[in-house]
Structures are given as structure tokens and as C-alpha cells.
Structure 1
């Protein structure tokens, strides 16, 4: 024991002495030279601090360390590349990265090489490794060399970064693939990979063999099956094809955006964009649908597209590895809880799975009856399931893979799963089918099925005529039929929206009103589908929104594509790829996400949209809920006002209207709690939004100190001190020439926030001021009454009985 201990101690001592003979990399360096090494907590940091190279472990696997490149300016640790993904290190302090014989080599804790750039270049003392701001680790012969000996961009792991390439090397006959991690804690190679084919299309494969998704062929601008690329995509893609290689690479149109593609453990290729305001990676799109991923749930697993988790085991089976399933790694599938006994067929039973997408690799068997098909399976010891219908008899030998639970849309078929008879409890008896009873029950089932179809068709004829009225009139809206006559928007069936959204697969967001899902119409139009909750309120807001926005047309108002009222209140809008404004403007302690010119454009467009609502419709429209989450941004960061659920229509002869106090605390005008309101309440809300855009601060922020948590209080204080620009977050990030414009914007906001509504400008006036045609009123006051903190602070709010009418508009500007 003592000899082993002394040997271990001596080895560690020699390693430490050896390491100390190498120069230590200075803090913040981006380079390893031939006489330097990297070990322990030492890191390389790219010149601008964008990426960092070092030794990292995963939270769920703290004993294994990997040499990896991570995003250095992203608060959530995100690994972009790993050198030793299949050979982890157990002690990062004893491992070392250094240049040996012209190669970058990683030695583990036993000083055994476990990874190398493995190039045949001649050894040179001038070889260096440099980490670039693009995340590329480059080995080259000398600091000034432009020709890399080796680069990490040629050997991606699961992440595709801007500037790197995924393609095919014609000389080495090798593919540059993206390969998923094994699971969320294990970066070793998983089962899913993305690769480029000679046909200029990307495919995703399982285990290197089964292809289950394609991007479609590149047509010079987009991939055929990626409609997300059609409208002002944030990337520039380019295809290179020469005698040495063929590949795609991409760059960001706006280099300030942090974005990446990953081959995820889910078997999907995903585009992700970092949002500093939320501290999360935002999913832009993913392909394919989860249940279309080959063998995602493993053997004897079922996939259900509309539930979480997606995977479950078949009846009579349980996960092969519960630990892997808890990490969302379902590839191991499920195993039988009770084994089958071959030869004893008298009490064998099958468990019925109606309405499913059948597994792969079936065998066709000649059989004229369900009983005969069942017998064919029963007489084969390796048969695990059968199916019999108008398509004939199919049986499955061995493992069942890719079994999908289908929606009730008539597309599914019935599978009979073979189980040990002992697994059928009383609760399962209705599902179990005793072989001897199969033939006798078929006739009864057919007869009952025929009766059901006749009854269903008769009811369907009646329901089809009243499906809109019946679903919402039941909620107490007897005048719905009259209201619907005034709506010119296209009405969609619930089934059409199920198809368009792929069973409401991709949730874009939501709140107290409900959820929003992404969809694509048959003509390729991308849409956002808003599903409203809270029945009574939902119907009121549904009618208000359809009747209001369904009749207006302006570039800076989100376009209503249609609606559905069959089962739920559903609204279809044009899809806005950059989401809501609040995700882009709040940047505490961070550089602003959007440049000043883009912010000015957004402010101008919000003002134009409100001016249209207030002054260019035959009936004025008061929005009543202007705030950053209700300002949506398209691919070019054009602003469009959305969410008209609280809006009110006011005849031009009426200057004000009574309402129940509603809206969002912090954006509600002071007069809303105790008097009739006018279009000036929207002007007040616009003032708050304008202030938030310019300053990068939330108007109410409980995470800040007491003196600065309320933006209006802070502005009052700084106005008295003649230091208004102090309220701008990270002011030093802006060029001096912008600061005068920013100060002017703050004064416009203050004008909109005047306590007396009559002293606030019209939105058309604000537009003219923003365009430089008019000046800000010089007599504005900075003594503000704070916005209503809560609707509960109003003792006697007025209740409006105003009936909503569809507005008739002038031509859009």
C-alpha cells in the first residue's frame, strides 16, 4: 500500500515540476505557443472576449472533464465545441494541452495522449494555436501565417457556428457532420447526425444509416423544405463546390446577434438565438417534428406529439434505463416486464392499440380474417404484434420501432401487441383479446361499427351547420351569429389548424390570455395561432379582436389572417420572426441588442400605427394595452402593434368613453382609475414604451435599488439635476452624436406622460416631431403622477356597456 502511495505521490510531483518548467499562459491570452501549455483552470480567451477555451464538466457528470470552447459573453454556459468528447479526463489539474511535434495534443491525467490535431506537418518551434472571435481554434505555423495547419471549424461536434462549414472533403473522402450528444449530460457521440449529400441537401440520419429527414435541395436561395428561410432570414447562406470539397457556410446579417445551429439530443436540427433580456437561448425553429425522428423513443416505445414527455413505454413494458430517460435519452427503449412463453397459445392475449401510426419493418402475411392474422402471429415465437384491416394482415418480428400515437383524425390504424396473459389485470381485460374469441367478435364489432357510422354521419350533418354558433353561443353570446356576419376574415376549421400547426407543436409563447403557436398554411404562409383561455373573457376579447383588427389594414399593425371558432377561440396572425419588442430592448449591464437607427425606426413605426388607429379610421380605436410585449418585430425589425383584445371603438362624435380599468400596471394612464378616457391613454402608454426603448430600462423594476426601481421617479430626479441622459442604460456604448437625439426622445416621452391628458400631444403630432417637422412643446413638466400600479387601487371604476362595432377605415397610409 505504501509503495503504491509513494509512487502516486512521486508521479504527481514530477508532473508538477514538469509543468512549472513551461511558461504559464497569461490571463486573457488567445494563443498557445510551442513552449506553453494549458491545464487546470487556465483558459484561452479570444481577442474580443467572445469565446473561451478551457476544461469543463457537465452538472450531471461532474467527474468527467472535457477540453471545450464555450461562449464567453453568454450568461448560460454553452459549449460550442469539444476536443475529447469520447475520452473524458478525470483530473483537469493533471491533464495538459500543449504543442508537440507541430500538433496540438491533449494529455490526460496519466500523461497519455487522448486527442491530437494529428497533422503530418513538420515539427516547428513557431507553431501556435489561436482561438478566434468566431469560435475557431486554429493551429498555424507562426502568428502571421494565414494558412491553417488545422482548425476546429473542420471538425464540428454538435454545433454549427457562423463561418464554419458542414460538407464533404473530396480528397479525404470524409464528411464534416454535426453529431448529437448522447444525452444532455454526456457529450460523447450520440445516434443522430446531420450531413450534406451530393444533391445539395442536408439529411439527418439515425445511427449512420436510417435517414428520416431532408432539408430539400438547395435552389440557390433556400432549401426546399425550410420555408423559414423565405422571408428575410437572419443568415446569408452560400454554397462552395470545387475540386477539393463541397460545403455550405453561413454568416449573420447582423453580427451583433448571437445564433447557432445544433444537432440536438432530440434528433432535431435546431436554430437558436441568444436573448440577453431573458437569459435563455430562444428556439427559432426545429426540424423534423419530434415523433418523426427515427427510433426516438427506442424499441417498444410510443411517441405522442401532443404530450410531454413525448415518449412512453408500451403496455407491459418499462424503460430499459430510467436514468437515461430522466435525461431525455430514450434511445435504449423499453423492455418486457414479463417474458413470453412460446408454444402455449391457448391463453395468449393481445393488447389493442387503436388509432396509431404503425411501426416500421412489418411483414405482409396472406390472411382473409382477423382471426387468421392473429393466429399467424401467435404461431411465430418471434412475432410481437399484428395488424389487420382493409390493407390486409401485417405482423412484426422482434422489436417495434417508430410507433406513433395518432390524433383522432381517422388516419391511425389498430395494432395488437402480444403480451403474456398474466399481465392482463381486470382493468386491462377490455383491451385483451383471447384468441379463441377473435372470430366470434368480428361480426359484432362490424355491426356496431356500421351503426356508429350511421349515427355519426347523421349528427355530423346537423353539427356541420351550426359548429360556429353552437360552440360559442353556449358561452352565452346569443348575438354571435349577427356578429359573425360583420367579419370579413377567413374562417378556418379546427382540423385545418391542427394540420397547419402540426398538432400545436411549436409554442412561441403565452400568458394569462392563452398560448401562441407557430404554423404554416398550405400556400407556405407562416402564421402565429393565438389560442385564448378563460371562456367568458376569451369570447369577449375574441370578438373585439376579430371585429377590430379584422377590419383594419396598416403596415405597422399586425395582420389578422383569419380565425377559428369551432372548438376554441383561435386567431391567426402573420408570423413575426423576431418576436416581441421586450426581448430586444432591456439590456441591463449589457450592450444594446439593436443599434440606434433600428430603435429610432421602431419608435417611429409604433407612433405611425397608433396615429392610424386614433385618427385615420372612421371610428377611433383606443388600444388600451400598449406595451413592449404587444409590439411585434418582423424579420427586418419592422414594428407592428398587436393584441387588440382590450381595444375600444369610439365614434368620432364622442371624444371619450367609460371603461372598466384594464391594462398592464406601469403602462396605465393616471386618469384611467377615475374618469372617462380618451385616445390620450394610448399616448401615455406610448410615452412609457418610448422611455423604455431609449433607456433600456423597465419602467418598474423590483430588482433595482429603491432610488431607481421606478423609471419615472428617476427621470424626475435627473430632470431636476439637468442630467436626463443618466437614465440611459450603458450610455457610454452610444456614439456622442446619438446622445442629442436620445435626449430629444426622452423629452418626447415626457410630453406624452403629462398628468393632464389635454397637454399630451396627438400621435400624429408625435409622428411629425419624430420626422423633424415639428418641435417638442418647451413647456412640458417633469412632475409626473405615477402610472396605476394595480387595478385593485381603483375603488370605483366605471363599467362600460359600449357595444363593439367593426370600424370602417380610410385607405392605409
Structure 2
């Protein structure tokens, strides 16, 4: 049985391939979460977009001929311009999640619900529901807004409204002088009637010119930002990678190719399905380009041409760590001292992202595949760009779940996370490096699939290298990993504390909760990356991260 992205719950049967044999849910029309796509409003099976304010259009259909595909914002939301954000009201509408009571806040008033959404960069709408007292309602703050539907309070027995976040909203104050307004309306009608045809023709011409000029100005914006990484044309990168022929690897957000620009080897990541506008992409590239640390892979340049989104990184000749710790044929190359240095390098790179940047940066994809090695086996964290930026005054953020099976911290089940999810993933990586095998390994016997369920210190230390000769140090390293794997994120150390432990400046915490296996997100074995909402079950004894990109 699988819960599909369109909201249908389907039952499958294997018969020379998986065949659908039943659609389990039988809901009324408009009851499925994506009947009218994102931002769409469903009414008796018909789809429309939320109305604008004072004639302005902030949300429009993606395709005028296919209204069921949903709607999109005219101006993309930007965390860099939060002061220009506003809420577009859609009254007497309901939402599918009301039936499951997944409210973010209960017992609050409508205005407080709206303000909570405006203050949270990740929030896409404030959905407010109440029965009798408007000051005692439920507030829903979705990170992704699916289809809304018309609400009938007489049958649903509750009142509800949606306030959709939009960019550059301007609401003009109503005139107090109704007589002057009425006179103005009469005069306006006369003028409009006189110039209607001319306006229509002129409007078509102006719209064409405006769109052309906007596109050109948007392209020029990339050239005007000081301190930006090099901007490449798509054809340049196509030539540099020999038409993207040398694949280095593939992840959840795109494919990486080897290339050469001048005399320098580079790694070109071609992003798939990023769904960003050029301005949004530029803002994130600007952030990545300003980050420099010896244990972070350097961003050399980028490409944002039409629908193409590419990032150009320095080339790391020894590839990713997983090739060295999971491949039995190369175990003799990575001795204990090299493994320990790799762990220290990862910790220093993450400490910089979490604590030394202007904004805290949660990586959200820490795993051996995203740790690269240079010619001297110095480890550098990659794919830290396009992750999650957390303002210094924010204690936590809401975001959709993203990651890799075996690395997900327990708090992902709530979608409210901090940079501590990276520390959990780091703990898993320590265990994998010390033990020489993956945390989730379905080639193992059933009782041994989850490495962390086998934690008995010396018994699981990698026997294929000289790690056994350093069993005491390896045991202390596993104790550090256990501290990072605490179920309560507040009990995990900061990355700067982890660095101090690794450098011998402090000891590992001894008062640890060893019951950290329950309530862990577990994903199907045929998924190697995850970036969507998940309804998960509690895990058996197991371990538990991983965007962009």
C-alpha cells in the first residue's frame, strides 16, 4: 500500500511488476489534497485561484487551459525581503489537514495566527479554524500549500479562513468619503468607455515590452552583484564537461559531472527540479559564494540561464568518503589516523556552518557521500549550499523533511528542526567510519540491518583495518557518536563542543540517554534520498540525515 503524491491511497499487487488493484480512499470531490494543485481552490470539482486585492493579481493559474494544475505566486517569496510580504485573504475556505487536527497552535486568535506566519520565513499560509469564539481557534501554518476547498459551516460545524503569503502586496486604504467615491466611479466609467479600445491595444503593446524588459533586467542583476562567484553561460559548461559525459555521481537534487575550465578541473552539479526563480537562486548563490573554509568544498561559479541551474565546485580527486569506508578492497588505504582526521575535518566544517556564519546554516544532508577528499585526503563538506538558512534570532524553523534513510534525526517527524539534525547525522557518520559499514545495510541478516542496534563498542569496530589496533580510541569515538545521537536534540553537543572533544580540550558527556532508537523516521529500502512530507511509523531498534543539493 502506498500513499501517492496526489493524496490517493493505493493498494498494489505483484504480478510481473507492481499493479494497482484498489484505490483505498473514497473521498468526496475536492477532498483530496491536490485536486486543484498548489494554491488552488476547489468548488464542486471546479478549480480557481485566490482573488487579488483591489484588482491586483498576486496568484494566477499555472495553465489557463488546465486549472487543475494549480496556481503560483506572481512574485516569488523571498526571505531577503520579508518586509514586503503580506497575506492575501481567502474567506470561507477549508483545508484537508483540519480532519486530522494537526494544528501548530491551539486556543489563539486570528490575528496572532496571521502574525505567526508572517514572522516565519518557511510558512506559506495562515489557516485559521474556529467553532464559536473567534479568539479561541486553531492555527495551521503549512510549509507547502496544497488545494483549498470551499467551506460550508452549516455542514462542517466550524468557520475557517486562509491567509496566503504573497510578495510585494499593497493594500490601499478605503476612502472615507463615499459621496466623492460615487462621483469618481461615475466619471471613471465615462472615461473608461471612451478609451477602452485604445487601452486594450496599448496594454498589449506595453505588456510585451514590459515582459521583455523585465527578463533583460533580471539577467543583468546577476552581473551587478559584487563579490559573486563567476557566472558561466550554459554552453560554456556544456563544453567544459564534454556535453555532460563524465558523471561523477548522482544525488537527490541533481547529477555531478567532471569538467575542465582552463587548466583547472571542476565538478559541475546540474540541479534538477529546484523550482526556483532566478532572483531566488541568485540570493542563495550569493550566500554560498561568501562562505570560505578549508573544510568546505569551494564554489567557483554558477549558471542561471533560462531553466538551467548549475553550480561549479572545485574538483576533489579522491571522491567521496563512502567509496573508501564501505569498499572492502580499499580498507588498507584508510588507516585509523586518516579516519580520525576525516571525522575532525567534518566537525570543523559543520562548526563553521552552524556557528561562524552570519546566518546559521543547517546542512540537512550529512552522510559519507557528501564528504569529499582532496589529493591529501583532507575532508571537505560538500552540498552545503541551498540548504536551510536559520536567522540567529530563530530558535527553530519549520521545513519539509529531506534526507537519506539511516541519517534522519527523530525531530524530523515534527518538521520543526534546528541545526542539531546535522549533529545527529554526524553521529551516524562517526559510527559508519569506525565500523566500516553502512548504518542501514539490507544485505545483512535481518537482525543486523541496523548498525546502531548492534552497538556494543569493541564488538562492532572495523576488523578490516588497523582500527582494531586503536580500540581504546575507537571506543571513545563511539561514545562521542552516542552523545551526538541523543533523541532529545537539546542533549546533543554543539559542533564546536564536538571539536573540543576531538582535540582533547574536554571530555564526552557521561550522563547519556541510551534509549535513542524509538520514534525514528524510517524510509523504504528503495529510496536513497528523501525530500517530501512523510507520515512515518515508529522505528525498530535503528539509527537515524541529508538537499540542497
TM range (shorter): 0.5 to 0.7
Contact 2:269–2:311 under 8 Å retained in 1: yes
Pick from 265, 281, 284: which aligns with 1:526? Answer: 265
1:563 aligned to 2:302? Answer: yes
Corresponding residue for residue 625 of structure 1: 365
Matched position secondary structure for 1:565: strand
Corresponding residue for residue 682 of structure 1: 422
Larger helix share, 1 or 2: 2
Pick from 612, 616, 619: which aligns with 2:356? Answer: 616
Q: Whole-Å Cα distance in 1 between the matches of residues 311 and 482 of structure 2?
A: 35
Quote how far apart the aligned CAs of 1:465 are. Answer: 9.8
| CA shift in 2, pair 1:571/1:590, >3 Å | closer
Contact 1:526–1:575 under 8 Å retained in 2: yes
Q: Whole-Å Cα distance in 1 between the matches of residues 442 and 502 of structure 2?
A: 31
Corresponding residue for residue 727 of structure 1: 460
Contact 1:622–1:679 under 8 Å retained in 2: yes
Encode CA deviations 1:708-733: one digit per residue, 9 max, x unaligned: 11012111xx2xxxxx11112326x4
| CA shift in 2, pair 1:516/1:544, >3 Å | farther
Corresponding residue for residue 499 of structure 2: 767
Corresponding residue for residue 313 of structure 2: 573
Matched position secondary structure for 2:421: helix
Encode CA deviations 1:403-460: one digit per residue, 9 max, x unaligned: xxxxxxxxxxxxxxxxxxxxxxxxxxxxxxxxxxxxxxxxxxxxxxxxxxxxxxxxxx
Quote how far apart the aligned CAs of 1:781 are. Answer: 2.8
Q: Whole-Å Cα distance in 1 between the matches of residues 226 and 492 of structure 2?
A: 34
Quote how far apart the aligned CAs of 1:566 are. Answer: 1.6
Q: Whole-Å Cα distance in 2 between the matches of residues 541 and 598 of structure 1?
A: 39
Quote how far apart the aligned CAs of 1:513 are. Answer: 2.2
Pick from 630, 653, 666: which aligns with 2:406? Answer: 666
Quote how far apart the aligned CAs of 1:793 are. Answer: 8.1
Contact 1:542–1:645 under 8 Å retained in 2: no
1:752 aligned to 2:492? Answer: no
Corresponding residue for residue 291 of structure 2: 552
| CA shift in 2, pair 1:467/1:500, >3 Å | farther
TM-score (structure 1 length as normaliser): 0.37
Which is greater in Rg?
1
Encode CA deviations 1:11-63: one digit per residue, 9 max, x unaligned: xxxxxxxxxxxxxxxxxxxxxxxxxxxxxxxxxxxxxxxxxxxxxxxxxxxxx
Contact 2:253–2:274 under 8 Å retained in 1: no
Q: Whole-Å Cα distance in 2 between the matches of residues 669 and 622 of structure 1?
A: 13
Q: Whole-Å Cα distance in 2 between the matches of residues 672 and 774 of structure 1?
A: 30
Matched position secondary structure for 1:689: helix
Matched position secondary structure for 2:384: coil
Quote how far apart the aligned CAs of 1:495 are. Answer: 2.5
Q: Whole-Å Cα distance in 2 between the matches of residues 463 and 593 of structure 1?
A: 57
| CA shift in 2, pair 1:602/1:538, >3 Å | farther
Gaps of at least 5 residues in structure 2 are 1-210, 524-529, 537-549
Matched position secondary structure for 2:364: coil
Contact 1:468–1:565 under 8 Å retained in 2: no
Corresponding residue for residue 21 of structure 2: none
Answer 1 or 2: higher relative contact order, Cα 8 Å, separation at least 6: 2
| CA shift in 2, pair 1:756/1:521, >3 Å | same
Q: Whole-Å Cα distance in 1 between the matches of residues 280 and 478 of structure 2?
A: 33
Encode CA deviations 1:352-388: one digit per residue, 9 max, x unaligned: xxxxxxxxxxxxxxxxxxxxxxxxxxxxxxxxxxxxx
| CA shift in 2, pair 1:612/1:566, >3 Å | same
Q: Whole-Å Cα distance in 2 between the matches of residues 659 and 503 of structure 1?
A: 35
Corresponding residue for residue 134 of structure 1: none
Quote how far apart the aligned CAs of 1:582 are. Answer: 0.9
TM-score (structure 2 length as normaliser): 0.53
**What does residue range 695-734 of structure 1 map to in structure 2 within 5 Å?**
695-715=435-455, 718=456, 724-730=457-463, 733-734=465-466
**What does residue range 46-85 of structure 1 map to in structure 2 within 5 Å?**
none
Quote how far apart the aligned CAs of 1:600 are. Answer: 0.8
Q: Whole-Å Cα distance in 1 between the matches of residues 413 and 283 of structure 2?
A: 22
Gaps of at least 5 residues in structure 1 are 1-461, 471-479, 719-723, 797-813
Quote how far apart the aligned CAs of 1:512 are. Answer: 3.8
Q: Whole-Å Cα distance in 2 between the matches of residues 497 and 730 of structure 1?
A: 44
Corresponding residue for residue 649 of structure 1: 389
| CA shift in 2, pair 1:580/1:591, >3 Å | closer
Q: Whole-Å Cα distance in 1 between the matches of residues 241 and 329 of structure 2?
A: 38
Quote how far apart the aligned CAs of 1:736 are. Answer: 5.4
Corresponding residue for residue 128 of structure 2: none
| CA shift in 2, pair 1:743/1:542, >3 Å | farther
Quote how far apart the aligned CAs of 1:486 are. Answer: 7.6
Corresponding residue for residue 777 of structure 1: 509
Quote how far apart the aligned CAs of 1:561 are. Answer: 0.1
Q: Whole-Å Cα distance in 1 between the matches of residues 462 and 253 of structure 2?
A: 31
Quote how far apart the aligned CAs of 1:595 are. Answer: 1.0
RMSD: 3.1
Larger strand share, 1 or 2: 1
Corresponding residue for residue 638 of structure 1: 378
Q: Whole-Å Cα distance in 1 between the matches of residues 304 and 276 of structure 2?
A: 15
| CA shift in 2, pair 1:464/1:737, >3 Å | farther
Contact 2:325–2:331 under 8 Å retained in 1: no
Quote how far apart the aligned CAs of 1:680 are. Answer: 0.9
**What does residue range 787-798 of structure 1 map to in structure 2 within 5 Å?**
787-790=520-523, 794-795=534-535
Quote how far apart the aligned CAs of 1:674 are. Answer: 1.2
Quote how far apart the aligned CAs of 1:772 are. Answer: 0.8
Contact 1:548–1:644 under 8 Å retained in 2: no
Corresponding residue for residue 164 of structure 1: none
| CA shift in 2, pair 1:783/1:646, >3 Å | farther
Q: Whole-Å Cα distance in 2 between the matches of residues 670 and 735 of structure 1?
A: 30
Pick from 316, 339, 348: which aligns with 1:599? Answer: 339
Quote how far apart the aligned CAs of 1:521 are. Answer: 1.5
Matched position secondary structure for 1:503: coil
Q: Whole-Å Cα distance in 1 between the matches of residues 270 and 396 of structure 2?
A: 31
Corresponding residue for residue 253 of structure 1: none
Q: Whole-Å Cα distance in 1 between the matches of residues 309 and 224 of structure 2?
A: 13
Q: Whole-Å Cα distance in 2 between the matches of residues 766 and 676 of structure 1?
A: 23
Contact 1:544–1:645 under 8 Å retained in 2: no
